[in-house]
């Protein structure tokens, strides 16, 4: 069976879809999936063995490029095509893909409606992105209703080259999806020093992305933690980072795609969430604890006052809260 899935999302959204692909593999072992997604999302899907082809496509591309990709897709003669994205372009690609069966999440525009064999609507019990994607593919492909964990296969991981003993270190990823999600570096430093002092772990590995700002942040955090800390220096791709995190006793970080990667490799997580969509982007199907701010508006609160309060919300989280969450997770995950 050849399946086309179209979903323009970032790395976190791509990782969320892997829960549905795990169920698909169990229900249809011979399935091969082609995914059309945004550039930058590919690494999250490369760890999923059922994905045979990843097409990175910028939704802002010209009409000629859209038709060129559509011609490529039509030549594949897919058995099933599903638009997980609710945007118009995702639906157009699926509607005109020529697949034997075409389905989409949500109601398409009236002009596209006749091109679909199935339209999946309704709410899901859990609004997490992994649950939503799974519900759509379950309705189209006859999958079970239970949503499994995210999937980054061990066979797709690569050696990271760091000298650390498995299960004797924790990983801190201080970078976040947005600047207002970055937890203060001195607070992370206190968390790291406390975990080492309590002998819960021997080392702290500080992970960073490829940008200079993230690398500088990681280096500074290592300096504050002390000799027990070492940085990745932004030199690890996602396959190496997946291997590193999979060998850790604990992953700690802010709201970011790397937090979802930790869930995908089944490493216990402590997440620090500021004013973000916690329900939709929390760690999925893995032992975790979340330290977060309450984003509920006060009754009658002026929108401008709410925004100012959210700008300061993350500062109210203390390192002691994160330390307690980490100790609880380590205790629950102890062999």
pLDDT tens digit string along 205-228? Answer: 999 988 888 899 999 999 999 999
Task: Tell which residue, 45, 9, 12, has the closest CA to residue 253.
Answer: 12
* Count of C-beta atoms within a 10 Å radius of residue 294: 9
Q: What CATH number corresponds to the domain at position 98?
A: 3.40.50.2000
Are 173 and 213 within one domain?
A: yes
Cβ partners under 8 Å of residue 96, min gap 6? 70, 74, 115
**And the tokens for 172?**
């801190």
Share of residues in the chain with pLDDT > 90 (%): 81
* Count of C-beta atoms within a 10 Å radius of residue 74: 13
- Domain final position from 129, 154, 179: 154
Are 179 and 300 within one domain?
A: yes
Which residues span the domain enclosing 11?
Answer: 2-154
Are 137 and 209 within one domain?
A: no
Strand partners, 291: 272
Task: Tell which residue, 171, 149, 161, has the closest CA to residue 240.
Answer: 161
- Domain final position from 119, 154, 189: 154
CB 184 within 8 A of CB 267: no
3 sits in which H/E element: strand 2-6
Are 191 and 321 within one domain?
A: yes
Are 128 and 188 within one domain?
A: no
Share of residues in the chain with pLDDT > 70 (%): 100
Are 53 and 176 within one domain?
A: no
Are 167 and 117 within one domain?
A: no
110 sits in which H/E element: none
- Domain final position from 154, 185, 200: 154
Q: Calculate ∠ Cα 56-61-63, nearest 5°.
A: 125
pLDDT < 70 regions, the chain: none
Are 173 and 320 within one domain?
A: yes
Q: Tell me, what's the pLDDT at 2? A: 97
Whole-number Å distance between alpha carbons of 208 and 190:
18
E-strand stretches of 207-249: 229-231
Are 205 and 85 within one domain?
A: no
pTM, to two decimals? 0.92
Are 73 and 166 within one domain?
A: no
Residue 130's alpha-carbon distances to 35, 95, 283, 306, in angstroms, are 16, 23, 10, 29
Q: Tell me, what's the pLDDT at 122? A: 87
For the chain, report the end-to-end CA distance as a whole number of angstroms: 41
pLDDT digit string, tens, across residues 147-203: 999 999 999 999 999 999 999 999 999 988 777 778 999 999 999 999 999 999 999
Q: Tell me, what's the pLDDT at 263? A: 97
Whole-number Å distance between alpha carbons of 130 and 48:
14
Helix axes 11-27, 257-264, angle to 10 degrees: 20
CB 217 within 8 A of CB 175: yes
Task: Tell which residue, 111, 116, 84, 110, has the closest CA to residue 97.
Answer: 116
- Residue appearing with tokens 């799974």: 134
Whole-number Å distance between alpha carbons of 257 and 262:
9
Are 184 and 252 within one domain?
A: yes
Q: Tell me, what's the pLDDT at 314? A: 80
Whole-number Å distance between alpha carbons of 10 and 26:
25
Q: Tell me, what's the pLDDT at 302? A: 85
Are 189 and 52 within one domain?
A: no
Residue 307's alpha-carbon distances to 273, 294, 313, in angstroms, are 16, 13, 10
**And the tokens for 23?**
């169920």
Cβ partners under 8 Å of residue 290, min gap 6? 270, 271, 272, 273, 278, 282, 283, 325
Whole-number Å distance between alpha carbons of 105 and 211:
35
Q: Tell me, what's the pLDDT at 280? A: 86
Q: Tell me, what's the pLDDT at 306? A: 73
């Amino acid at each position: 069976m050849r399946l086309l899935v179209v979903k323009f999302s970032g790395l976190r959204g791509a990782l969320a879809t892997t829960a549905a692909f795990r169920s698909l593999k169990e229900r249809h072992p011979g399935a091969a999936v082609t995914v059309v997604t945004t550039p930058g999302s590919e690494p999250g899907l490369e760890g999923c063995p059922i994905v045979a082809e990843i097409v990175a496509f910028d939704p802002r591309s010209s009409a000629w490029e859209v038709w060129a990709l559509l011609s490529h897709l039509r030549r594949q003669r897919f058995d099933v095509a599903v638009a997980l994205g609710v945007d118009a372009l995702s639906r157009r690609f699926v509607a005109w893909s020529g697949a034997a069966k075409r389905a989409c999440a949500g109601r398409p525009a009236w002009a596209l409606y006749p091109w679909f064999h199935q339209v999946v609507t309704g709410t899901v019990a859990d609004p997490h992105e992994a649950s939503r994607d799974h519900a759509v593919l379950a309705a189209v492909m006859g999958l079970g209703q239970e949503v499994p964990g995210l999937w980054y296969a061990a066979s797709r991981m690569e050696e990271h080259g760091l000298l650390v003993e498995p299960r004797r270190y924790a990983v801190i990823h201080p970078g976040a999806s947005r600047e207002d999600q970055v937890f203060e570096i001195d607070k992370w430093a206190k968390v790291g020093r406390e975990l080492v002092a309590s002998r819960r772990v021997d080392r702290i590995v500080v992970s960073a992305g490829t940008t200079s700002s993230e690398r500088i942040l990681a280096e500074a955090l290592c300096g504050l933690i002390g000799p027990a800390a070492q940085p990745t220096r932004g030199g690890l791709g996602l396959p190496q980072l997946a291997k590193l995190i999979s060998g850790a006793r604990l992953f700690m970080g802010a709201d970011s795609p790397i937090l979802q990667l930790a869930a995908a490799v089944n490493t216990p997580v402590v997440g620090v969430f500021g004013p973000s969509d916690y329900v939709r982007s929390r760690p999925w199907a893995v032992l975790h604890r979340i330290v977060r701010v309450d984003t509920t508006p006060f009754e009658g609160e002026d929108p401008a006052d709410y925004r100012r309060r959210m700008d300061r919300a993350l500062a109210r989280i203390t390192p002691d809260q994160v330390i307690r969450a980490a100790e609880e997770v380590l205790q629950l995950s102890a062999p």
